[in-house]
Structures are given as C-alpha cells and as structure tokens.
Structure 1
Amino acid sequence: MVAEVEISPRESEVLELVGAHLSNAEIAARLFISVRTVESHVSSLLRKLEAPDRRALARRAPEPASTRPSRPASVLPAPLTSFIGRVRERAELIELVKTSRQVTAVGPGGVGKTRLASAVAAEAAGAYADGVWFVDLVPVTDAGMIATAVAGALGLGEQPGRDMTASVVAALADRHALLVLDNCEQVVDGVALFLERLLAACPRVTVLATSRSRLMVPFERVYPVPPLSLDGESDAVALFLERAASVGLPLDLAPRGQIAAICERLDGMALAIELAAARCPTLGLDGITAALSHPLRMLTGGSRADERHRSVRAALDWSHALLEPADRALLRRVSVFVAPFTAAAAAQVTGGQEGIVADGLARLAEQSLLVVTASPGGTEYRALETIRQYGTERLDEAGELDGARSRHLRWCLAQAAGLAVTGPDWRARFDLVADDLRAALAWAADRPEQRADAYELAGHLAELTFTRNLTGESQRRYEQAAVLAPDPAAGASMLRQAAAVAGCRTIGDDMYRLRRAAADAARASGDSAGAATDLASAATIAFRFSTMFVRLPSREEALALLFEAREPARDEPIGDEPANADPTHDDPAARAAVALAEAAVLTDAFGAAQGPPGNAVPETIARAEHAVELARRTGDPLAESAALDALTGAQSWAGDTFATAATARRRITLLSSLPNTPAGTHELIDALAIATEAALGAGDVPAARRWARQLADHPSLAEVGHRATCRLLMVDALAGDVEEVLTGSVRFLDAWRRAGSPSRTLLRPAVAAVAMIHGLRGDRSARREWLGILDELDTPPEHTYGYGAVFDAILLLHRGQAAQALERTAPEPRQVWKWVTWIWHHWYVALRTEAAVLAGSPDARDRVAEARDRVAGNPVAEALVERAQALLDHDRERLLATVAAFDTAGCPYQSARTLALAGDPRGTAALSNLGLAPTALPALRGTSAGT
C-alpha cells in the first residue's frame, strides 16, 4: 500500500495526478513546478513503490481527496459577472454537445454566444475525462494561426517535423476533451479546415464553436442562439436588473414594466441590455427610454447593416452618440488594437497627447466601452470585439481607416524593433504585442504602398517568433518576407533563413525546397555566386540531412544541382575535373559550398555508397579537408562547421575514432559563442549530437554527458523531450547511471507519445538503451514494454552490429550468458562497415573480447591482444580489455585494479560489475545501490597470475 511507503507531500501530489492520467507537462503546470522536477518525482515514486512503469504507478495512486478535482480542471475564462437565465438554451445546447462532435452556436454580435458557450462548457466539464479547453480566436486574423492559438490554450509547443496543426492533433489524439473555439467568424474557412483534420484524427474530442455565421462543414450541427426571453419572468429583465444593481440601481425600486419595455426595444440583445443598464446611474430609466426613442441614435448606419446586427448596432450607435466628439474619435482610433493596449500606445497610434488620451480612455471605460485590467506593465485597456469592429466601421466612415492602420503599423514596427534588443522580460513583452504585430502585417501585406513596411515587419516577426520557439510561424514569416522583399537579393536572404528554420524543425523537404528557391531568387538578382552557393547547399542537404526527408531527392537530382553550381563557382580542380576559368565568379563562399557538396554528394555517389570504405576513403578525406580549408578562408563559422561535419563523417569512415572526436569538438568550440540565429541554432544542435556520439566512441563519457545534457536542455528542443533526451539516455545507460535513465525515460516516453509516436531512426538507440537498463534491473515487464516501443521504430543496419550488439552484449554478459554474447558479436570487427558502427566500434571490440574470455573461446588470448591494439587510447574500452585479460589470467589483483579506471572514466556500472566478478562483496552492494539485479556470473576467486 502507498501508505506503508514513505513519500513526501509533493510526491503524493504527483502520484495523485499520475493516477488522473495527466502528462508530466500537465502535472508541472498544475503544481507550478518544472517538468524536470516532475520527472524526478515520478522516477522516485517508481523506485519507492516498486512500480515497473507509469501505468502500474497510476494504479497505485490513491483515490483523489474530496477537496481536489478527480479529473483535469477545465480551462475556461473566469466570468467577471454572473450568468443570468438561459435555462432552456443551456439544456438544448448541452444535449447537442452530447450527441454531436461539432456544434456551432450561431448568432449576431452581442447576443451572448460566448457567455452561453462558457456556461455550457462549465456544466458539461464533468463528462470529459481530460477536461475542457477554451480558445479565444478574437486576436487571430490569419487562418494559419488558428492552430497556434489552440496550442497556446493547451500549453503546447510545435513538434519538429510537424506543423502546428499536426502538433495539436497529436496532443489530442487520445484525449477525451471538449474544445471551445470562440469567435470564429473572421477565420471561418481556416477553422473549417482545422476542424476537419482535428476531428478525423481525434475521435474522442468534441468541439463547441461560436460564430456569427455557420462554418459550412458537413459534420456541423448549428444551434441558433436566440435573444434573451422577453415574456413572463424574462431573462432579459433579470439581466438588466442584475447589471443595474451592480452600478447602483436598487433592485426593489426598479420598475420592472419600464425595464421590460427597454429590453423589448433592445430586442433582447444581451450586449445592448448590459450597455443600457450601465447607463442607469447617469441617465436613469427615463433617459434611457428617451435615448432609445431617438431615431438617429438608434439607426445610424442601421439601414446599411445586415439585419442580424441591427439590435447590437442600435445599442452601440446609441452609446456612441452619447460621447463627446473627442471621445468618439478616440474610440474609433483605438479599435485598430486587437490586444490590450496602454495609454502610451494609444497616444502613439491616435496622435494625441498621452495625458489627454489617458483621460479619454478612462471616460470610455466608465461607459463600458473599454475593459480595464491591471498588468505588470501598467493599466491596460481592451475593447470587446463587437465594439472594436464597430469602431473600425466608424473609422472607415470617417475616412480615417488607412491613416489609423498606418499609424498602428508604424507603432508595431517600433515595438518589433525594440523587442529585437532582448532583455529579461522580452518574451512577456512579445506576447503582449504579438497579436497586434500579426494583425498589422496582415493589413499591410495586401497594400502595395505599404510593401516596404510589411517586409520589415515580416522580418522582425520571423526573428522574434524564432527566438520565442514558434518555429513554424517563424518559417512562414520568413517566406512571407521573401514574397514582400523589395528585390530578389533580399528575397533570397529571407529564403535562406526560412530554410535554416526548417532545419531546426527537422523538415528536410522544406530545407531543400527553400534553398532551391533562394538560388532562383539569387540568379534573378544577378548574383551567380549566391545562386551557386544555394544550389550546392541544396545538394548537400539531400545527403547530410537525408533522414529528415519525406521525399528524398534522387542522387541524379542532387548531382545535377552540384554540376550546375560548380560551373560558375569553382576556381581549382579536384582530381581530373577542369577548373573554371571565369574570374567573375571567384567567390570564396560559393567555392566552399561547392567543395562541401562535392565531399557529400560525389563521395556518396561514387565511393562509400557502393560498398564498405576502401579505395574511396583517401578521396573522401581529401574532399572533406579541402572543403574545411575553403570554408575556413571565408571567415564564416557556420560554413566551417558544416565542412567539419563532412570531415567528421570521412574520419569515421576511415575508422579514426579519435580524430572524429577531435573534429566534433572543434565544431562545438567554433559554434559555442555565436548568436541565436536559425542557421546557428540548427548547426549547434547537430554539432552537439555528433559530439556526444563521437565522445562515446572515444570513451570520453564525461564529455559525452556534458554535451548530451546541453542538448537536452536546449530551449529550441524544450517541447520535444524525445528528441532532446535521446542521446543523454544513451550516455547514461552505457555509464550505468540507472536513476538518470529512469528519470529521463519518463520524459522521453511522455514527449514521444504526445508527439504522436513518430517512427524515427535516431530514437532507436535511446529506446534500446532503456530496454537494456530494465534488463539489468531484472524488470522483464518494463523491458518488454520498451522492446515493444523499439518495434514501432524504423530498423537501421546499426541495430545489428552497432548499438544493438553493444546493448545486447552488456545485458547477456550481466546475465552470465557469455556464449550468447559471443554469438551476438560473432562478426569480425573488420567485417562490419566502419561508417555504420564507428560510434560503437571500440565498445563492440571490447565486449566481444570479454565474451570470448568468459565463454572459454580457444582464441581468447589472441583476441585480447588484438583488441588491446584496436582500442588503445579509449579509457573505457581499455579497461574492459584489461579486465578481460585479468579474467583470462585469473589475476584478481589485476582485475580489481580496473575498478579505479572505470570510476575515473565515469562508468559506475562497469566498476560495480568488476567488483562482483572479483568476488568482492562490495560488488553486489554497488549493483544494488545502482538499482540493478546481481550479476549471474560466478565470482572469480583465484589470485594467481598467469594460466
């Protein structure tokens, strides 16, 4: 029982939420702690409660306390006023939501759709195990941002390799939830497309939308929201009385007949009634009645309006007519803001003095035309959407719309430029103005006279959203900036940035497409060297990042790009190829890019791809070194890093483990101090991954852990824990840091499931590593679960003779199955392609040697001698081979001497195993302290040297 185990109060809270089937991210948000802290608590609970996995842990959770919700809390806006009436409408709409997967509450602005939908969602929340989520689409002016708004409400980030819609769909795929999409009218077409994808992939999600018009999708059930009832104990009168009481009209003195007449004149429209009731202290019921009788106040603009809007328009026209001219102008001019704004911002956009504007805003707020909120940045104002749209119409009627939009655009440009200088609170400041930046860009992008400003704003927004880790939007904004660019050269620059962002998102197809588009733009601008650079880069991408593609370009296609690129870019030959004699194309960057493409494409096409490295190795290294030298001459660290990556591959093909590790370290040093740009970030993430693997190959476990931790903590990977942690799991598993593996595997699995369980080759080593650790723990159930996950992923050749053989051999040797371990590593190391196993080569050799010794192989002594030469310089592999020699010689003292070597190398598991092999009681204790089962091998008890 849980009560018999000593767990902390915080662990108890986490356990209860695990039992409620919340993800780590949701638990972190609920308890206001970090995801890593949650992972640590979950790992501790797994150990304390002896639960094999998260599913079993959930079953150990106690029943929720009566004072706590037993299911996720609904995420609904907190009502500022009470909800009045609508009993029949609530019942009807709840029934529709129960029986239909998508319901749209339709009605004119001000009828009360949002309040009704919120009330229905709150009442229905108990029926949805994963809660209710409310998404306000008012700020969304771009259909492409609908999924971003939904993701924001859900607390999601974009998943690499997916657009934001796919990320939302993956997160909700197995959820039983109600999603409320409020104010869909301005992006109806986009909402319809979003819902088609969402509902097709998320069978247990129900959507309740509010809109002024139908969404026009085949599965839609429309519910027309009627005005408030006017007969009997009318909801309209009740609403008026309640709102009037809140501003000082005593309920017992209110003449209900006169109020009913006012509500009838207002057609039962909730917004109009609330506005009328708010005027009671200043006008009284008689004044309101008189104002409603004035046809100019009631119907100004009404004859040009759609019939459904006449009642709300009447109320707004009436309220507007009561304003002083200066306040009318202020109301319409601040309607360009789509997000809360300050008096200072309003002054800049309206052209008034801040003090006068602040006074006017206060008067508008007093008349319920603006909502006032306090924020860390000061008092903020916001117009309700219906009033904002009304103000926009008034701007147009006054002939001021373009002028106000232009001032708003200039204000947005200033805000964006100011945000580019990052500070400790820049993310919060960006979030406050982001919707205004997007709205200003949407308006300016369609106006030729605003093209220059639109281009500048698109560029700013692209940079800001990238830094904000909104990489999907960042790529779109860079592409938008390319379309708006004043000339092809500027467009090419934006397309290159977009390609780099696509690389951060691991979308190879887009990287390739955008680099080719950049080449076309550069060529159109007369920049033949730039075009050559882009063409060569596209060819390189097809091979360097081949695992990121859905549709991988053919080798012939890549070769064609290379040959097209090097005609104007080459200045010196490689081998028998002729040099280009045209001096006008003597561009260092282009030559470096072409050399890199040659190292990647020509080697793959004519050398290594045709078989194991042989005669192609010297040519491969020569091409890569040439690329590095040309890149170094350019002075561009990113170009040099990319060329060093090619050299890393060439050295690994040659089997030079330590040169590979040294080159990988050069990349990290080169990139570590660069600013946070798309290209720099993409290059650094790749460099950290390669450096981690190279360090493992060289036996430098501390360095591998350092770089793997840096990769796991990289902010660009914050929302993709499976990609962030996969290499750290490999390092910790090989080292034997069981607690770290258990904690990291929780984060990995949770993030992988939330991402839709992508089948990615790069994830297999991590999954195999976790499966091995559970095998060492003796937890067969957990091991089967992780082997099942392994079966869901693509199977590359590395699994046979790379990490698969290494992890299997470690487990088999731990279980005392030396013969099986020897069989698993039967192929000679020289028979295994170095380009497949270079990370694992020394591990493979050393473990194969130990298996031969323990299995009593007749050639064990020869294998030890050969292995000693092969792994020289690798501290972990050297210790493994030295241990094998001691086992072969029955030399206990020599065997125990390797304990210190393993400790120094950062491998606590191998240290503990050595003690166990030596028959030292500390070995069993050390294995137990690591959380591992005892080794099945008999202890070595002899003390003599030699055989």
Structure 2
Amino acid sequence: MTEAADAEISPREAEVLGLVGDHLSNAEIAARLCISIRTVESHVSSLLRKLEVPDRRALARRAPVRGGAAPDRAAAVLPAPLTSFIGRARERSKLAALLKEHRQVTAVGPGGVGKTRLALAVAAEAAGAYPDGVWFADLVPVTDPGMIAAAVAGALGLGEQPGRDLADSVAAALADRDALVVLDNCEHVLDGVAPFLERLLATCPRLTVLATSRARLMVPFERVYPVPPLSLDAGGDSDAVALFMERAAAVGRPLDAALRGQIAAVCARLDGMALAIELAAARCPTLGLDGITAALSHPLRMLTGGSRADERHRSVRAALDWSHALLEPADRALLRRVSVFAAPFTVAAAAEVAGVEDGLAADGLARLAEQSLLVVAAAPDGTEYRALETIRQYAAERLAEAGEPGEVRSRHLRWCLARAAGLEVARPDWRVRFDQVADDLRAALAWAAEQPERRADAFGLARRLAELAFTRNLTGESQRRFEQAAALAAGPAESAAMLRQAAAVAGCRAAGDDMYRLRLAAASAARDAGDSAGAAVDLATAATMAFRYWATFVRIPSREEALALLTDARKAAAGDRTTRSSGAPATQAPQVGDDPAEQATPAGGDPGALAAVALAEAAVVADAFGAVQGPADNVAVPETIARAERAVELAARTGDPLAESAALDALTCAHIWAGDTFAAAARSRRRVTLLSSLPPSPAVTHELIDALGMVTEATLGAGDMPDACRWARQLDGHPSLAEVGHRAPLMVDALAGNVEEVLAGSVRLLDAWRRAGSPARAHLGPAVAAVAMVHGLRDDHDAQRGWREILDRLDVSAERAHGYAAVFDGMLLLHRGQARDALERMAPEASEVWKWVSWIWHHWYVALRTEAVVLAGDPDARRHVTEARVAVAGNPVAEALVARAAAVLDGDRDALLATADAFDAAGCPYQSARTLLLAGGEHAGRGTAAFAALGLAPKAVSLW
C-alpha cells in the first residue's frame, strides 16, 4: 500500500495529488477537474496535513507515478516518444558521462541527426540522479528570443508574479533544486538562450542543463558534444540498419534480414542521418529498396563545398530534397506555404493561408502526412497537422526560393487577425483557443512589424495580442505588446493611448518603475500630439504614483521629481504645450520645503486634467506631512482631507469612475490619518461600487484590485467581519490573483477564526512567494504574521516557527514591532493564558504607537490591550476599560472585546456570556469560543468543542 493510501486520502484528493505531481498550478488543476480554485486550495491544504509535508514542492514528490507507488523523488517531465529508440549505446554513455562532469552540455549537430531523441533517452536514463526532477522545454514554437523564459516557465508550470519577470521566476523556482532541464532546438533563438542560461546557472548552483542545437551556444561554461550520425556497417549490423528496418516494419513493410547489406548501402548514402533514414524507410511500401536506391541518384540530393559538418547538413537536405522531388507540384506548393504556421493547423487554416480550396488542401495534407512530411494528431476541433521543425525550415527556404513569402505571409497575417478578432473571452473555451493560435499570432506580428506597408495591421495585431495576453494573465507579455503597439502606432495620440495601457498592466504586475516610466512616455507622446490635457493627466498621474504605489518601486521617485512633474502638469492643464515630460527636475522646480498648497490648481482647463492635478496635489500634501504621530497632533490632516475632497469633487464631474476611485483612495488615506476608521471604510466601499460594473481592462483591473484590497482591510479595521469576509472572497477569487493571492484575506480569516481558509490560502501564498524568489516584501508581513498566529493557536510549533522565520526575512520595521505583529502576538499570548506577557508585548498606549496601529489595527490593538490589562490584574484597569469603550465605539468586534474585559473585571459571568452572542453576530467565531472557555463550568465544554470544530487547540483559561 502506498503512503498516500496509508494517509486515507479521498479519491478527489488523489486526483489533485497526481496533478500537483505533474506540476500543474491550482488554476490549471481547477480547470482540469472542473472545480473551483478555492476547492483545489482546500484539497492541497488537506494533503499537506495528511501526508505531513511542509510545502507544495514536497507534496509533488509524494505524488504517485502513473500506475505505480509514490516515489521518493520528483518524476521526470519528458515527452513520451511515439516510436522506439534504436541503438546509440555509445552516444548515450558518452553524453551521460558529460552530464555528470559538467553543468551545461550542448548536443550539437545538423538537423535530422537525432539530437532530440538522443537527449530524451539520456535524460530518461539519468532521471534517478536528479532528486528534484527532469524537465523538458521545446523551443520550437518560440519566435522571439525574449520569450525563452516564458517557454521554460510554461514547462515548469510557473505563472507570472507581480513585480518579477519570468526569468526571475524560473531562477527562483530552480534555485535550490538538484534537477536537469532539457532545452530542445535552441538554434533559432541563440541570442535569447545564451544570456538566459548564464543567468540561470549563476543563480541555481545544483542545476544541470542539457541543450540541443544546430550550433553551439557560445557561452563560457558550455561543454559541446557533437552528435554523430548513426553507426554504419557494411555487413548490416548497425544502428542505422536497425532503425531503417524498424521504421519500415512500422509502415507495413517488414524487411527480410537478407536485405541488410542493401539497406546498409542505402543508409551509407544517407550518411547515417536519422531523419533521412526514417523518410526513406517510410517509402518502402511504395518504392521498395530498388526504387529508393534509384531515387538517391537524383541530382538534387547533394550540395557542394563546406566542412564535414556541412556535409552532414547537406545529407539532411539531400533527403528532404529527394522527398520533395517526389511530390506533385501542388503538394510542393502546399508544403512550402504551410511552413509559415508556428503551431499545429487545421485543413481550413491551411486552405486559407495556402490560397487553395478546402478539398484540395485536405487531399494534399493527407499525401504530405503519408510521406512523413507532416505529423497528424487528433484535436478537440478535428484533425491537426504540423511539420517537424527541420522540415518546416526546409519548406520555408523553398517558399523564399519560389518568391512567395510576402504573399503567403500576408494571408497568414490576415488569418491571424481574424483568429485574434474572433477570440471571444466570454466563451468558456477561449483560453484553450488562444493557446492554440498564440504562437502564430506572435510569428505573424514579428513578420508584419518589419514590413512598412503592413504597419497598420501590425499595430492592430499587437494591440489585440496585448489585450488577449492580459486576459490570459500573461501580464508581462501584455505590457510588452502594448509597448510594441505604441511603437507601431500611426501617430502620437494613438501611441499615448497604448502607453497608458502598458502602464496600467505594469501596475497590475506591481512594477512601479515601469508604470512611472510609461506614464512619462505617454505624456511626451500626448504633448507631441498637441494634447495638453492628456499630457497633464499623465504627468499628474506619474507624480501621484510616486506616493500611491511607492511599495512597488525599486527606485522611488524623489519628492523633488514629483513636485517638478506637478508643476508641469499644472501648466499643461492650463493649456501650456511647452511642458516637459521626462520627469527631470524643472529649472524652477518647487523645493522640499515649499507648501504645495501655495501653488493653486489652474482655475480653467480640461476637467480630467484638473481632477488629476488636484489628486496629485493631495498626494504631495499627504507625503509632506505623512509622519503623523496621532490624529490630535497632525495639524496637516484637515488640509489633506480638504484637498482630497476637492480631488473627489473634480473627478466626479468628469464622469470617469477610474478618476473618482483614485481620488477616493486619497480621501480614504486622509481619513485613516485622521483616525476615522469608519469614514475610511465607507470611502473604500464607494470605490468598489464605482468599479464593479465596468468592463474589464488593464486600468480597471489595476484599480479594482487596489480597491478590493483597501475595502477588505478597511472593513476589517472597522470590525465588520461579514463584509470583510465577503470582500476577501471576492478579492481571493479575482483571476489576476488566482496563483499569487493577496494578503488581506489571510488577515481577515485569521482574526475571525476561519482556520481552514487560512491554511489553504497560506499554501498558495508560500508557493507564490518562493516562486517569486522569496523577496523581502514588507507588505506581506501582516499576512505571514497572521498565518504564524494561527499555527500557534493550533499548537503547531514547528509550522509557527517556520512562518516566523519568513516574517523575520520580510520585515524588521517598527510597524511590525509595534503594529500588526503586536496584535497577532497579543492575541496568541492571551489565547495561551499569558496575560502579563501579552501586556508586555503591547506595553505602549495606542497613542504612543499611533503611526503603526492606525488604519486596520487601531481598534484591535486598543481592545486586545485592554483585555491584557484586565487579565494581568493591572490596578488601573477600570480607567483603561472606560477609555477603550470610547476609542472603539462603533466597532462590533472591538466593543465586544472591551465588554468582555469589563465583565471579567466586574466578575459578571452573565455579561461575559452575552459577549459570546455578540461575537457570533459579528462573525468572529474564534472569540465566541474563547468567551465560553473563559466562562468555565458547563460552558467550557462547549468552548472546547467550538475550538475543535475550528481546528484549534483550546487552553485551560477558565476564570470561573
């Protein structure tokens, strides 16, 4: 019996475990099993507990091999060969030995020599030596050297991470793995492969890479292994003869062993090239050995000149030339014309691009497939065809010789434009349909972008591909395509629009520096187009970004830069077209000490520009006086609120929900600094209401994710747990966060006591964080502290210690020490009955640490600290209770916490029990169960049962 069976996992969990072992993401598993992502997360969390493994990587190693028991290493992720591998014992041994001695080996040889099959055979045999698995990435579909990382990430099952490119994600995923990666067919993207491998091997010390290529990669650490032709023996006892006979038998013509000598002669004339031999063997049923021998004397079979390597290359060309010469003219034309497809294609697609009728295309494709020039496969939409890469490249050369590339590629471009336009994202299968044509869209765009007369079509395809990639959650590619569209635009106004879209996508990627750069570029393009209002919006938005999204920047723009942009934005809003847009400080730029209030927003001008400028002014004022100590001491708060309210008023006049939402965000922050938790929550709700009905776009998605995060945290701060949970679920289910998650839901569920949700969400958070390279992102601190607390409540000390170690790597700031971590630590210490320790952990009064407990944590800090004061027996406890009642008024959870502390102080058991109902009504089951334990007696049993139902470990803390 397997370990999985011993753990009594359910059939559905077994399915999920198998797919985790196949390295599928949660979203991919959900799609495969037709269940929700949250259900997958729940199953993964359950499997982690049942199999007693710490993370998803370890879980993958426990997944069963198809048809076997659970292995103690990661399974090899290699394509299954469709035909048997013949011979090559000496080559396998030599290549395997090189892999043991060198971290990067390139199997080099001409097309058709058998590099891929040899690499796959060696990788399969060596899989046991790599505990973390063997991975295969085929680079054939890659037409852009910049997409190497995307191809490898796809093979590893990685998605994009906010703030990191895919190359970083791949390096992070493999950083500590003892694994082998096979990169197949590198020759056409050498410029991308070489720097990618240098970067990868430098950061992954235990990684080995086996590459196949027609040319060496030319990197300093490369060990080249020239792949020889198949062994030849005049007597007929050779790998080449064995391959010929096996392939001939596979197509229905078993050959007599007495013919070995004649077969050896054929193989020798083909120079032992595997592809040529397979093509020749496939003709046996129709030509026989005599016919094949005669065909080899055709004058097209050989080229002249060149080195031995070139001769081997000419041998492959000779085999293909020979096969090509046997075709009817119409079939030759069809073969060369379908060479423009980068991915499998249908009869209808081939007919449209080749310019022939469907019936003629179907007959021709069948004949080409019969002659091993095309591979046939069944697909959901019908039969698909594809050319092996060597043959496709050969056919592409024939296309050029025929003088047809422009005509055929133009038809392919039109076909791609139609396919892109017809991808309706409302259809449930649209993602599959996009994936089927994506490589062709990219290839068509690469060609069209280089044709001046096709500039308009290239622009349209780049824009559409950017939109589709964004919806497909390929945000890195989406940003690049929008930038490409901007470069292809017919004029600066169109370019500015594309740059704004690119900036919005960068925002979704949490790439603040790109967002800032692209907005400045949009401002420049708008200025060139004579659009002063548009330039003003872009400049003001860039200035606002420096403060609104500061946590996403690598280099945060200085306040001087922001003030200079604000000055230029004011001028542009007033109609001055001479403003700069580079972001460099102006000659007369405002200085740090200047009061932004002294520089008034222009009285006239475009409403949108005026609203953007007003928002930027509010952001600058907030930054200027941002070091608040408490609402009573912050004299700038009224000024900040006034400016934010003015920004909201102007934005509302524009009728643009995105502008109004951004202004409301500034007003929300102003209310936070004013200490008005409930006003902040109300403004956050208004933002979501404005945005929820808008059609999806990069800008809407960026703003909506931010708004959902804010409203979740705002309602949590106000103690509205039902709403906080509702917003958290909506945020958690957003497609753009399907694989990376958000910190807010974990915080909500931890404070409410929704343990299963915390455990499931923490798996995703940890997986995403590790795939992103384990960055030191302080904004993740509250979520990590929440998970650590929940493990502490469960008495899972090892898990708690692990999460606290992660927290130490993320955040060592005062905000952690005096803010969110004090709340979570205090709550855990109170749970364990360590009231004096809890009071020591939250020793400062709330007014002393206002800067770090404002926003979400103020009411929680005050209430939990009050409970600690009472339970620790502080002689001044009654004063604390009285003051706390005032401080948390309106927050149902905090009010109940203070009321419970007061009941304990008064010795009023009935009043204490009444708070259990209050906690239930407020959506806080953990605190309800804790109340029952504190009440003791017959209530303690109910409390113990409630804790067990939540998955927590109760403590003996009864007070009666």
Shorter-chain TM-score tier: over 0.9
Asked if the contact 1:504–1:681 (Cα under 8 Å) also holds between the matched residues in 2, the reply is yes
Shift of residue 342, structure 1, vs aligned partner: 0.7
Give the alignment partner of residue 790 of structure 2, picking from 768, 773, 788. Answer: 773
In 2 relative to 1, CA 256–599 (structure 1 residues): closer, same or farther, beyond 3 Å? same
Shift of residue 129, structure 1, vs aligned partner: 1.3
Give the alignment's TM-score, normalised by structure 2: 0.92
CA distance in 1, matches of 2:855, 2:662: 20
Q: Does the residue aligned with 1:608 lie in a helix, a strand or coil?
A: coil
2:188 is the alignment partner of 1:168:
no
- 1:906 maps to 923
2:301 is the alignment partner of 1:298:
yes
Shift of residue 612, structure 1, vs aligned partner: 5.0
CA distance in 1, matches of 2:520, 2:571: 16
In 2 relative to 1, CA 448–53 (structure 1 residues): closer, same or farther, beyond 3 Å? closer
Give the alignment partner of residue 569 of structure 1, picking from 558, 573, 580. Answer: 573
Q: Which of 263-272 and 302-311 deviates more?
A: 302-311
- 2:293 maps to 289
Q: Which of 658-667 and 748-757 deviates more?
A: 748-757
CA distance in 1, matches of 2:28, 2:801: 27
In 2 relative to 1, CA 306–393 (structure 1 residues): closer, same or farther, beyond 3 Å? farther
In 2 relative to 1, CA 61–678 (structure 1 residues): closer, same or farther, beyond 3 Å? closer
Shift of residue 574, structure 1, vs aligned partner: 9.1
Gaps of 5+ in 2: 576-594
Asked if the contact 1:798–1:837 (Cα under 8 Å) also holds between the matched residues in 2, the reply is no
Q: Does the residue aligned with 2:739 lie in a helix, a strand or coil?
A: coil
Asked if the contact 1:14–1:42 (Cα under 8 Å) also holds between the matched residues in 2, the reply is no
Give the alignment partner of residue 187 of structure 1, picking from 179, 186, 189. Answer: 189
In 2 relative to 1, CA 41–73 (structure 1 residues): closer, same or farther, beyond 3 Å? same
Shift of residue 301, structure 1, vs aligned partner: 9.3
**Map 1:216-235 → 2, pairs under 5 A:** 216-231=218-233, 232=235, 233-235=237-239
Give the alignment partner of residue 113 of structure 1, picking from 112, 115, 129. Answer: 115
CA distance in 2, matches of 1:24, 1:404: 38
In 2 relative to 1, CA 356–303 (structure 1 residues): closer, same or farther, beyond 3 Å? farther
- 1:78 maps to 80
CA distance in 2, matches of 1:322, 1:925: 81
Give the alignment partner of residue 588 of structure 1, picking from 607, 610, 620. Answer: 607
**Map 1:117-516 → 2, pairs under 5 A:** 117-231=119-233, 232=235, 233-252=237-256, 255-295=259-299, 297-299=300-302, 306-420=310-424, 422-516=426-520
Q: Which of 771-780 and 522-531 deviates more?
A: 771-780
Shift of residue 44, structure 1, vs aligned partner: 3.9
- 1:708 maps to 728
In 2 relative to 1, CA 390–779 (structure 1 residues): closer, same or farther, beyond 3 Å? closer
Asked if the contact 2:935–2:958 (Cα under 8 Å) also holds between the matched residues in 1, the reply is no
CA distance in 2, matches of 1:286, 1:59: 54
Asked if the contact 1:140–1:435 (Cα under 8 Å) also holds between the matched residues in 2, the reply is yes
Shift of residue 243, structure 1, vs aligned partner: 1.1
CA distance in 1, matches of 2:6, 2:908: 44
CA distance in 1, matches of 2:815, 2:100: 50
Asked if the contact 1:185–1:212 (Cα under 8 Å) also holds between the matched residues in 2, the reply is yes
Number of residue pairs matched by the alignment: 931
- 2:8 maps to 7
Deviation track 1:227-260 (CA, whole Å, cap 9, x = no partner) reads 1111151211111111111222222266222211
CA distance in 2, matches of 1:62, 1:315: 45
**Map 1:824-843 → 2, pairs under 5 A:** 824-833=841-850, 836-843=853-860
- 1:717 maps to 737
- 2:591 maps to none
Q: Which of 497-506 and 1-10 deviates more?
A: 1-10
CA distance in 2, matches of 1:405, 1:825: 70
Give the alignment partner of residue 745 of structure 1, picking from 759, 762, 766. Answer: 762
CA distance in 2, matches of 1:627, 1:301: 76
Asked if the contact 2:108–2:226 (Cα under 8 Å) also holds between the matched residues in 1, the reply is yes
CA distance in 2, matches of 1:459, 1:104: 37
Shift of residue 602, structure 1, vs aligned partner: 2.8
Deviation track 1:379-399 (CA, whole Å, cap 9, x = no partner) reads 111111111111111111111
CA distance in 2, matches of 1:653, 1:107: 67
In 2 relative to 1, CA 280–932 (structure 1 residues): closer, same or farther, beyond 3 Å? closer
CA distance in 2, matches of 1:257, 1:845: 93
Q: Which of 747-756 and 842-851 deviates more?
A: 747-756
In 2 relative to 1, CA 939–57 (structure 1 residues): closer, same or farther, beyond 3 Å? farther
- 2:717 maps to 697
Asked if the contact 1:655–1:834 (Cα under 8 Å) also holds between the matched residues in 2, the reply is no
In 2 relative to 1, CA 932–331 (structure 1 residues): closer, same or farther, beyond 3 Å? closer
- 1:600 maps to 619
Asked if the contact 2:62–2:70 (Cα under 8 Å) also holds between the matched residues in 1, the reply is no
Give the alignment partner of residue 88 of structure 1, picking from 90, 102, 117. Answer: 90
2:671 is the alignment partner of 1:651:
yes
Shift of residue 555, structure 1, vs aligned partner: 0.7
Deviation track 1:192-244 (CA, whole Å, cap 9, x = no partner) reads 01101111111121111111000000010101111111115121111111111
Asked if the contact 1:2–1:62 (Cα under 8 Å) also holds between the matched residues in 2, the reply is no
Give the alignment's TM-score, normalised by structure 1: 0.93
CA distance in 2, matches of 1:145, 1:854: 60
CA distance in 2, matches of 1:421, 1:933: 47
CA distance in 2, matches of 1:240, 1:826: 83
Asked if the contact 1:241–1:254 (Cα under 8 Å) also holds between the matched residues in 2, the reply is no
Deviation track 1:735-786 (CA, whole Å, cap 9, x = no partner) reads 1222332332233223322322121112111111122222223333332222
Q: Does the residue aligned with 1:103 lie in a helix, a strand or coil?
A: strand
Q: Which of 333-342 and 561-570 deviates more?
A: 561-570
2:888 is the alignment partner of 1:884:
no
- 2:743 maps to 726
Amino acid at match of 1:242: E
Give the alignment partner of residue 783 of structure 1, picking from 800, 815, 834. Answer: 800
Gaps of 5+ in 1: 941-947
Asked if the contact 1:499–1:511 (Cα under 8 Å) also holds between the matched residues in 2, the reply is yes
CA distance in 2, matches of 1:412, 1:15: 36
Asked if the contact 2:602–2:610 (Cα under 8 Å) also holds between the matched residues in 1, the reply is no
Identity of aligned residues (%): 72
Give the alignment partner of residue 844 of structure 1, picking from 852, 858, 861. Answer: 861
Deviation track 1:606-660 (CA, whole Å, cap 9, x = no partner) reads x234765522111111111111111111111111111111111011111111111
Q: Does the residue aligned with 2:211 lie in a helix, a strand or coil?
A: strand
Asked if the contact 2:570–2:601 (Cα under 8 Å) also holds between the matched residues in 1, the reply is no
CA RMSD in angstroms, aligned pairs only: 3.0
CA distance in 2, matches of 1:13, 1:20: 11
Amino acid at match of 1:665: R
- 2:537 maps to 533
Shift of residue 677, structure 1, vs aligned partner: 0.9
Asked if the contact 2:114–2:273 (Cα under 8 Å) also holds between the matched residues in 1, the reply is yes
Q: Does the residue aligned with 2:181 lie in a helix, a strand or coil?
A: strand
- 2:639 maps to 619
Amino acid at match of 1:590: A
Shift of residue 929, structure 1, vs aligned partner: 3.3
Asked if the contact 1:52–1:781 (Cα under 8 Å) also holds between the matched residues in 2, the reply is no
In 2 relative to 1, CA 511–347 (structure 1 residues): closer, same or farther, beyond 3 Å? same
Shift of residue 852, structure 1, vs aligned partner: 2.1
Deviation track 1:661-686 (CA, whole Å, cap 9, x = no partner) reads 11111111111122221111111111
In 2 relative to 1, CA 16–649 (structure 1 residues): closer, same or farther, beyond 3 Å? closer
Amino acid at match of 2:341: F
CA distance in 2, matches of 1:360, 1:916: 80
Deviation track 1:83-137 (CA, whole Å, cap 9, x = no partner) reads 1111111111111111111111111111111111111111111211122111111
2:824 is the alignment partner of 1:823:
no
CA distance in 2, matches of 1:4, 1:486: 63
